[in-house]
Chain A
Amino acid sequence: MNKPAWRAMVFGLIPFAFALAEQNASSPPSAPAQPSDSYESRAEELETKRKRREEKLPPVRESRLERILLQIQERRLLEKSEYGWHGLKPRIGALVTGSGFAVGPEYRRDDLAGGKLDFRVTTQFSTNLFQLYETELIFPKLADGRVFFSVAARHRNYPQMQYYGPGPDSAKSGRSNYRLEDNRFSLSAGTKPIRHVTFGVGGSLLQVNVGPGTRRQFISTERSFSPAQAPGIDRQSDFFQGHVFVNVDTRDNVLGPRSGSRLFADYTWNKDIDLETGSHRRLDLEAQQYLPFLNRRRVIALRARSELTWKDRGQFVPFYLQPVLGGSDDLRGFRPFRFHDDNLILFNAEYRYEIFAGLDMAIFGDAGKVFRSKNDWNLEDLEGVYGIGMRFNARGNVVMRLDAGFSHEGFQVWLKFTNIF
């Protein structure tokens, strides 16, 4: 219960004003006082009060608004909207930043094979004509919940992906757009041998096609950048991807952490099976730490992330597979997909303080950069962001985030329905 709960809270405020008027108008007064010498005893007085009330009992009235809310609860309308009609429901939300509002049907069943099998098919279309088709079959709890396995297939057609050019010195004015179209067929499996620790392996086939962008306000990428500046812009390939990962997670609540930490590492081999020019290896590292104080009403949240790639001589990392910075989840004062290069390093720090049970504020700073050479894996020349945000939560789970980030390129405001970290 996250979005429905939040909506009920906000949009219910106005009707409650009317409900209150109704309530106050209907509150019955106390039984009126009567000349006491009519009675011989206190008991007689009390009995008479009761009998008088019995003779003039007002009709029972219920608030219409309360009746409606009860109907919603009793008919489980929120649960039904979450799970849909026999698993079929609308999927709403942006696909990537810049895709516009997206909606489409989703069929999901997590109760197959006695709850051991989770199946999903999703289709979404956005106002900017982005498309997503996805299906997934997951065995989430094999071997007493210690093993998981999944098979997935996905087709994306994103016609207006942003590209500003390579490296940390790309110009804000150099914005271009391109179409990214890919198919991905993947398998993954993992195990949770002990509490907090998960290992996994996976393999996938990735078929990529890049074409001209459709957003007319910005130049199409292939007209603005050469293959040297946007490797792979001229010819795209297919990739076999294999990866292994390890995740150590001691956070108290994944959806709204106030203590604990997370360490994540993922190593991926990308084998260009078509053109044999884009093969590379990639290491994703992430560390999160949450430092609570004042009875966990204040939290210092820290994150460090790095994505590093290695390639053999004569190979390159296609621009559409490069690490990227900029947007709501990393450098929040910059536009989405602002910086591309072979490597990145990122730091986020937030001071989160509770306003009331359902809202935390955050004052944050982001710093990071993309770079070509591993020699630049340091703390120099980082792009900086500072900002302020609000995190709305329901029972400790962040359900909505509003962030405003400021950088030397201006400011960005983000409204997201997920936490940043």
Chain B
Amino acid sequence: MAQVHQHILTVAGLFTILIVPSALARKFYNDDPVLALPKPVSVGKLKRRKASDIYDFFLMAFGKPGEKHLPGNPIPAQAVNTLGEVPDNEWYTNRHGRKTMSIEELVRGPGNSTPPATDKPWEVTAAKTEGVTAGFTIRDSRGNRYQLKFDGAKSYEHVTGTDVMGSKFFWAFGYYTPQNYIVNFDTSQLRVPPGTKWIDKRGEERDMVQSDVDDIMTFLPRNSEGRIRALASLYLEGDVIGPFNWNGMRRDDPNDYVLHEHRRDLRGARVFYAWTNHMDAKSLNTLDTVVEQNGVRAVRHHLIDFGATFGAEAFEPKSPRAGYVYLLDWKDSALSFFTLGVATPAWTRAKYEYVKEIGRLEANVFDPEKWKANYYIPAFENMLPDDAFWAARTVMRFTEPEIRAMVGTGQFSSQEGADYLTRVLVGRQQKIGRTYFSQVLPLDEIRVEGGALRFEDLAARYGFVTPRKFTFSWSVFDNKTESRSPIAGGDSATIPSSTAPYLTVDISAGDAARKVSVYLRRNSNGYDVVGIERTFPPKDKT
């Protein structure tokens, strides 16, 4: 008897453990969907992290770190709200992807009202010693600090032009980027104040002298007026604490609690990087700063250094390999090795125009699914179709006039080159939309209007499919148990007559594997959309 009693108690206990949590669970809160994260926890002084690009390359190329999807069991993106959107946060701010920016706003980017003042010479405070392009750190008469970078002889206008363009594109996508300016100046604009230290090519620290600057400037290409063109990048606001990794979390930041390889804003960034062919997606091209806003100190995460976007690659036109294979790509290397180079991947046959003017970029061979950064990036590898859709939707919002205007910020002297770059970006954009809008059911702008559910089929809007019919399957949704009770007759976009606090509808276009589930919450006027989920066929992401 005692044994039976014990078993009953055990079963009751198990029942409690199983039932009570689900009794406590809730899919939606009253403040869903969250469009902006609450105020972050204020941080103290954080340790500055330095990173080695050699270490980063080898770790990523050979170690492939980060949490990966299991076969048939992908890990959904995190740091998203119930609509699948990324709330404004310290990583990302919804800009052109949510509300169309004007051309003026797109061209302004993170800011265009603080170029280096030219009323007095700029003081050179340091020489740039990282990366492959020459440069200086300067301070202007207003006390603003800038990083100056120059083009190489074989890539005149490429680096400076694309760095400005890249910063504005990524700002429009939603990321934090620096203010970049193109400046043209004479050597007399640079002055080395006494006491400026620098490390020369021998690795020895000594006082910098004016002739050090003059020596570097001697080899720089000049424009038709004999002036030197440079990129001036305004120093970022806040205390610099080093780059972020594309996987893991920053240990001393309490606001960084989502593994980076699972953040939608970082996974989906792969689409933005592919569009702009920004293959240099290494950790060192990111930068965290601690910024104080409204009395709260928090880490802001930036993307920096866009000199390897579009057709440029530091001191020469972009390599034909860039974006198609890793720097160290075993499969491609083995194919070339064993076939004695006879096997020629499609990218070796890609055609480029205006290479001298804008570098190498094309749209014919480009395949968004196959695009690769220089090496393995954990967040990119974890991108799922819904992450890609989130980003592709933003890419498709750019119109050709907008793209053209942003290309114009690169100030390329060849109009034909700039026109070609615009055409290529439009071509790549179309491929992105066509690819990623076919992997999910690309419904957007889902809303309730006039007692019915309204939405846009982005694939049809952009001409990738002909307008199609949809099926609807309505249910009453229990927010606590997450169970569904089908509503008979609910087979159109019209919201069924119901007083249930939550409804849900599954929308499909004939493909059961790709559907959109929309959750509606009752309010005083009827219902509003509180949640969106997208399903897609399983894909082995390991």
**What residues of chain A have their CB less than 8 Å away from a CB belonging to chain B?**
8, 12-13, 16-17, 19-20, 23-24, 27-31, 35-43, 45-47, 49-51, 53-54, 57-63, 65-66, 69-70, 73-80, 82-83, 111, 114-115, 294-298, 351, 353-359, 361, 363, 395
Contacts and interface: CB of A to CB of B under 8 A. Distances in A.
B63 A23 contact: yes
A409 B29 CA distance: 84
B67 A295 contact: no
Given A75-B203, A79-B202, A57 B251 contact: yes
Interface in B59-116: 59, 62-63, 65-67, 78, 81-82
A66 to B, nearest CB: 4
26 contacts: A28-B248, A30-B78, A36-B29, A39-B29, A42-B31, A46-B34, A46-B38, A50-B40, A50-B254, A50-B257, A54-B254, A58-B251, A70-B51, A73-B54, A79-B202, A80-B204, A82-B202, A111-B202, A295-B320, A295-B347, A295-B348, A353-B341, A354-B336, A355-B336, A355-B337, A356-B326
Q: 3 shortest A-B CB distances, which residue pairs?
A: A353-B341, A76-B203, A54-B254
Interface stretch (B137-145, B264-272, B327-335, B396-404): B327-335
A76 B199 contact: yes
Contacts of B337: 355, 361
B215 interface: yes
B341 A53 contact: no
Given A20-B65, A49-B257, A80-B202, A66 B30 contact: no
Interface in B1-50: 21, 23-26, 29-32, 34, 37-38, 40-41, 47, 49-50
B487 interface: no
A317 to B, nearest CB: 42
A19 B24 contact: no
Contacts of A298: 341, 348
Given A49-B257, A356-B328, A13 B62 contact: yes
B201 to A, nearest CB: 6
Given A47-B38, A70-B50, A80-B203, A27 B247 contact: yes
B524 interface: no
Contacts of A78: 203
Interface residues of B, number: 72
B466 interface: no
Contacts of A30: 78, 249, 257-259, 262
B29 A79 contact: no
Nearest to A109: B202
A341 B252 CA distance: 74
B539 interface: no
B476 to A, nearest CB: 21
Given A37-B26, A297-B344, 17 more contacts: A19-B58, A31-B257, A35-B25, A36-B25, A37-B25, A40-B29, A50-B255, A70-B50, A79-B201, A80-B202, A80-B203, A83-B202, A295-B349, A356-B325, A357-B319, A357-B328, A361-B340
Contacts of A356: 325-329, 332-333, 336
Interface in B162-216: 199-204, 211, 215
A357 B327 contact: yes
B321 interface: yes
Nearest to A84: B202
Contacts of A363: 340
A357 B321 contact: yes
Q: Which of A45, A79, A115 has the most CB of B within 10 A?
A: A79
B117 interface: no
A273 to B, nearest CB: 43
Nearest to B66: A27
A351 B339 CA distance: 13
A37 B327 contact: no
A2 B428 CA distance: 36
A69 B341 contact: no
Nearest to B201: A79
Contacts of B50: 70, 74
A365 to B, nearest CB: 14
Contacts of B340: 353, 361, 363
Nearest to B199: A76
B327 A60 contact: no
A53 B257 contact: yes
A8 B58 CA distance: 10
A42 B29 contact: yes
Contacts of A57: 251-252, 254
A358 B34 contact: no
A20 B59 contact: yes
Contacts of B509: none
Q: Which of A24, A37, A114 has the most CB of B within 10 A?
A: A37
A2 to B, nearest CB: 14
A108 B351 CA distance: 46
A30 B78 CA distance: 10
Contact of A294 (B29, B247, B349): B349
B52 interface: yes
B472 to A, nearest CB: 27
A60 B251 CA distance: 6
Given A51-B41, A80-B203, A27 B67 contact: yes
A45 B63 contact: no
Contacts of B21: 35
A251 to B, nearest CB: 13
Contacts of A20: 59, 62-63, 65
A331 to B, nearest CB: 23
A53 B299 CA distance: 15
Contacts of A19: 55, 58-59, 63
B350 interface: yes
A61 B78 CA distance: 25
Given A30-B259, A298-B341, A357-B327, A41 B249 contact: no
B333 A355 contact: yes
Contacts of B251: 28, 57-61
Contacts of B258: 30-31
Contacts of A353: 336, 340-341
A359 B63 CA distance: 21
Contacts of A45: 29
Contacts of A27: 65-67, 247-248, 259
B55 A66 contact: yes
Nearest to A39: B29
B386 to A, nearest CB: 19
Contacts of B327: 356-358
A79 B204 CA distance: 9
Contacts of A66: 51-52, 55
B341 A50 contact: no
Nearest to B322: A357
Contacts of A40: 29-30
A83 B201 contact: yes
Contacts of B66: 27
A289 to B, nearest CB: 19
B150 to A, nearest CB: 17
